[in-house]
Amino acid sequence: MNLEGQTALVTGGSRGIGRAICVQLAEMGANVVINYAGNKQAALETAELCKAYGHGVLTLKADVSKEADWETMLQTIQEHFDSIDILVNNAGITKDKLMMAMKEEDFDSVIDTNLKGTFLGMKLVSKLMIKKRYGRIINMSSIVGLRGNAGQVNYAASKAGIIGMTKSIAKELASRNITVNAVAPGMIGTDMTAALSDKVKEEMAQGIPAKRVGTPEDVAYAVAMFAAKEAGYLTGQVLCVDGGMAV
């Protein structure tokens, strides 16, 4: 699978799963645009990892929940790379609380970033893809969007909504040679899980059929598969990268 000459935009690409996706796509030959919300240093570190593969790299700060930010970001990308061939809607936040303790702003902010941000990305980037009659859109959902999780009603709602949008937009864009798919990670070793004790992580791993926590690279490989031109007949799919949790 070769992405030479293609340009990929990865939202939330500065660290964790987003960083692994950026590096994977760069290794496959793509120009990579790394979107970040606030951690410029982390984004620059990701950029250096991508530059090692000798292709174009751009870092852009933008709030994905704001349409004006998207429009500014896309204008800059077109000035550098002409178009966008691959969109990975990875940006996401959590504000976990049990429902009775969850404030309205906790719910709204997660929905705005995770769900609305993904919608805006698909809406605006697909306009560019339609002109080329080619595109690959990959949305980051979660096993929580399929199974739910106590204390994450806002996050679960956003990730379940992404699945619904993925399937709907896949039907709208299929005739234009644009695929839309989702990846649903399970327990993945990131900054969030790093804060857990070794005992807790071991107990969680034992509940996974694969008996291990996944890595950001595990997720990146799944994204790369959907991003490939060879995956043109795969659309509207949800791929669980979870070591068997959803089985």
> Which residues does the annotation mark as catalytic?
155
Please check whether residue 11 is in contact with residue 69, taking contact to mean a CB–CB distance below 8 angstroms: no
CA atoms 228, 232, 238, 242: torsion sign = negative
Residue identified by tokens 């791929």 is: 239
DSSP letter, residue 188:
B
| HSE-up (13 A, CA, CB side) for residue 241 | 22
**What is the rounded distance in angstroms from the CA atom of residue 67 to the CA atom of residue 28?**
30
Please check whether residue 130 is in contact with residue 175, taking contact to mean a CB–CB distance below 8 angstroms: no
Please check whether residue 241 is in contact with residue 213, taking contact to mean a CB–CB distance below 8 angstroms: no
- Cα–Cα separations (whole angstroms), residue 226 to 7, 69, 211: 14, 26, 26
Residue identified by tokens 């899980």 is: 193
- Cα–Cα separations (whole angstroms), residue 44 to 17, 49, 58, 225: 16, 9, 9, 25
φ, ψ of residue 86 in degrees (nearest 5):
-130, 130
